[in-house]
Structure 1
Amino acid sequence: MSIFLLNSCDSEKNSQTSHNSDKMMIRISEIEILPEYVDEYLSILKEESKASVELEDGVISIYPMYHKENPTEIRILEIYADKKAYESHLETPHFKHYKTTTLKMVKSLKLVDMNAIDVETMPMIFKKIN
C-alpha cells in the first residue's frame, strides 16, 4: 500500500491532503469534438475542470488538453482520490451542466482507466506546478 501527500495549488487552502494511491481512480478521457463546436466546448470544459478541482476535495486532477495538430481531439487526465470521489463528481451541478451542454458537440468519447506506475513520483509533479 502506498500513501502520499499532495499540496493544494490553491494558496488559500495550503493544507496537505493524504491520498491512498491504491484506491485512486485514474482515467484518460479521449474525446473528439465536432469542428464547429471547438471554441464553445473548450470554454465549457475549462469552467468545469476549474470548478471540479476547486470545489471537490476528492478531485486531484481534471487536466484537459488538446492535440496541437488537431484541436478537435481532446484528452483529459482525471485523477480522483477513489471511486467514491468520482461517483460524487458525476453528481455535481458543474459536471451535469458540462455533460448536458456539450453532449451535441461530442463526436466520440472513450474512457480509458489507468493504473499509476510510479506513485512515489506523482506528488512531485503537482508540487512543481507551484
Structure 2
Amino acid sequence: MKRISLILLTIIVCISCGQKEQHHENFNSDEMMIRISEIGIEPEYLDEYLSILKEEAKASVELEPGVISIYPMYQKENPTEIRILEIYADKKAYESHLETPHFKHYKTTTLKMVNSLKLIDMNAIYGETMPLIFKKIK
C-alpha cells in the first residue's frame, strides 16, 4: 500500500511539474504589447474620470483573455496625472481591446476630460519574470 501511494504521489508531482513547465513554455514575452499611457486630466473632471476609468479597467481585465493588465495609477503629488500600465498578450489582443464596448465608452465619455495624452510603447527587459510576478498576487 505504501508503494502504491508513493507511485501515485510521484505521478501527481510529475504531472504538476509538467503543467507548470508547459505554462512557461507557452508564455512568450516577445509577443506581448506593453504600453505606459500618460494622461493629464482637467481637475474639475477628476472624480468622474476616475470612476469611468475604474469601470473600464475592471471590464478589460475580467472580460478580455488577452488583456493581462490595465493598471491605472496617479502621481501622489499631482493626482490629475494618471499613468496606466497596459500589458496585452499580443498586438491582436490590443486591437481587439480597442473594439470593445467598454473601451469605446471610456474613450468617448472621457475625451473632454483629458488635456494631454502620451502613449509610450515599451519592451520587457526580462519578460520571463512576468508569470512569477502575477503568481505572487493572491
User: Same fold, TM exceeding 0.5?
Assistant: yes
Q: Secondary structure at the match of 1:99?
A: helix
Unaligned 5+ residue runs, structure 1? Answer: 7-17
Residue 39 to residue 22, structure 1, CA distance change in 2 (3 Å) = same
Answer yes or no: is 1:95 the counterpart of 2:96.
no
Q: Does residue 1:108 correspond to 2:116, yes or no? A: yes
Partner amino acid, structure 1, of 2:69: S
Matched letter for residue 130 of structure 2: M
Offset of residue 75 of structure 1: 0.2
Counterpart of 2:131 (choices 123, 126, 130) is 123
| Contact kept? 1:29, 1:77, Cα under 8 Å | yes
Give a deviation string over 1:30-67, Cα, whole Å, max 9, x none.
Answer: 00000001110000000000000000000000000000
Q: 2:74 aligns with which of 66, 69, 86?
A: 66
* 4+ residue segments displaced more than 6 Å: none
Number of aligned positions between the proteins: 117
Letter in 2 for 1:34: E
TM-score (norm 2): 0.81
Match 1:82 to one of 71, 90, 108:
90
Q: CA RMSD in A?
A: 1.6
Gap regions ≥5 residues in structure 2 = 1-20
TM-score, length of structure 1 as denominator length: 0.85
Contact 2:29 2:128 survives alignment (8 Å): no
Which whole-Å deviations, capped at 9, do the CAs of 1:69-99 have from their partners, x for residues lacking one?
1000000000001001000000000000000
CA drift at 1:19: 3.4
| Matching of residues 36-75 of structure 1 within 5 Å | 36-75=44-83
- Counterpart of 2:48 in 1: which secondary structure? helix
CA separation of 1:4/1:73 partners in 2, compared to 1, >3 Å: closer, same or farther? farther
Which amino acid in 2 is paired with 1:71?
Answer: P
